[in-house]
Amino acid sequence: MNNTGKNRHEEIMNQFCQLKVLVIGDLVMDIYLKGNSFRLSPEGPVPVVTIADREEIPGGAANAAINLKALGAQVSFLAIAGEDKDGDKACTFMENAGIDCNAIVREPLRTTVTKTRLISNGQLISRFDCGSQNPPSAESEQKIFEFLKANYSLFDAVVLGDYKAGLFTPALIDFLQQMQQQSPAYLALDSKNLPLFTPLRPSVVKPNYVEAIGLLNLQSLSKNRLEQLKNYGPVLYRLTGAEHITLTLDEDGCLIFEQGEYIHHTPAHVVENPHVVGAGDTFISTFTLAQCSGASSAEAAELATAAATVAIRKTTTAPCFLNELKAFFSTQDKYVPGAKELEELCRFYHQQGKNVVFTNGCFDILHSGHVSYLNQSKNYGDVLIVGLNNDESIRRLKGSTRPINELADRIYVLSGLTSIDHIVPFGSVNDDTPSALIRAAKPQYYIKGGDYNLQNLPEAKVVEEVGGKVAFIPLVPDHSTTNMIKRINEDAQLAKVI
């Protein structure tokens, strides 16, 4: 039932867990102070914000490490941090996420970089940055070199995250060049100063539009950013030395260049009120893992764009997890093979704040009564999932002459209805009810026809257990598959008599 594209996505994503990745970069703590404001301060024309929530999440290159781990890779993180509370919090957070932080060098005289965002009523009011941004000490730099010399060859990919916090000295870049010559790894780079790393000949770099304009020294912005930049591939290649350049353009998607030649444009997915902080880390992390798993640059960009879309739908800096990425692509396909996949899919929908509606039936010969019923069902929420009795289940329920149409045909016909978002088959000798699917989907509403009631509906208790409600829709009179088959048989018998 799955299309080729979905199979290919699965094939690539299933390789992520086999990859070992080293992230080298600046460690930042992102702090979010969230509250509400209803008045201005008497000291000046600024809002008084009453803080209701404080959230602290590792950012900078640490966010790339977190994204790589969330996608299933084995991740080590190399950075410098202060011997302070913010450094402790960052290391603890990442270690709890399963990231190897043994290579983080702690300096007593250093303060960990923090970026504190003040948010009122959902709007960013201000940002406060503090922390050391000086180069590491000679002793710390030597520890970094020793780690790289001993471990560099163990990694499939190396991701560099440069946030201008002092880690990437000329000496470190020279040493990385030596390591690449001795043990070449897939090298991904995210930096505000890409030409600084040109000697490394990165596998991929990820400038955004503003960074690309600055890199190219263009004086004016353009409304048609795609056309403006798609011919600058050779210049970008000369300036960065990168085999792949993924030029991200927010709502305009991204342009892909290979060795300076423009080859592909990946469109963006529409997101209302996006939270874009950290989206670049999500993109380059996913692109890196995809390429290391055998994906073409176009396939890698499609996966990376999808992962970034998942991330920016969240309210703070947060990664895209592998199950979320798989669920994202499942939303593009109506067929869902079973309860396990349905559970992952609906978890994704619930996280997005969408209301799930579930109904089920045989839908053997589709007629106008079915269409009306399904259209009304969809009105109860955002996502309509249809449980479809498999052929063996229908034979047990309806007799040996049914179904008229096999499961594959019924799925194909139902897939043509715009009211239906997903179709999942069910039924076994032990249980011909959709109870397992209801537990997996946890729908806000379970819909059945008006010929049922709560007393004769075995699934009603399961719906209540998962916090849902049961709703009944009146059936269209004189419209049923059984009556339709009966009329067809009567007409066939009459034809024989004539």
Helix axis angle, 339-351 to 322-330, nearest 10°: 100
Report d(CA 68, CA 19) in Å as an integer: 10
Residues of the chain with pLDDT under 50: 1-2
SS3 of 382, please?
coil
Residue whose C-alpha is closest to residue 411's, from 378, 369, 479, 363? 363
The C-alpha atoms of residue 480 and residue 92 are separated, in whole angstroms, by 61
pLDDT at 2: 44
Q: Return the pLDDT at 496.
A: 59
3-state helix, strand, coil in the chain (%, to 5): 40, 25, 35
Token pair recorded at residue 241: 């030395």
Angle CA 17–20–21, to nearest 5: 115
Per-residue confidence (pLDDT) for residue 348, from 0 to 100: 85
What pLDDT does residue 250 have? 84
Tokens of 346: 């609906």
Query: Tokens 């009944």 correspond to what residue?
Result: 472
Judge if pTM exceeds 0.85.
no
Catalytic residue among 30, 162, 190, 281: 281
Locate 85 and state its tokens: 């509370």
In this prediction, residue 356 carries a pLDDT of: 97
Distances (CA, A) of 12 to 6, 17, 200, 280: 10, 10, 27, 20
Say whether 281 is catalytic: yes
pLDDT in tens, 133-168: 999 999 999 999 999 999 999 999 999 999 999 999
Q: How far apart are CA 52 and CA 156, in angstroms?
A: 43
What is the rounded CA–CA span in Å between residue 152 and residue 108? 26
Q: Enumerate domains of the chain plus CATH numbers.
A: 4-330 (3.40.1190.20), 339-488 (3.40.50.620)
CA 402 to chain CA centroid, Å, is 41
Say how many C-beta atoms besides its own lie within 10 A of residue 128's C-beta: 11
CA 227 remoteness from chain centre: 28
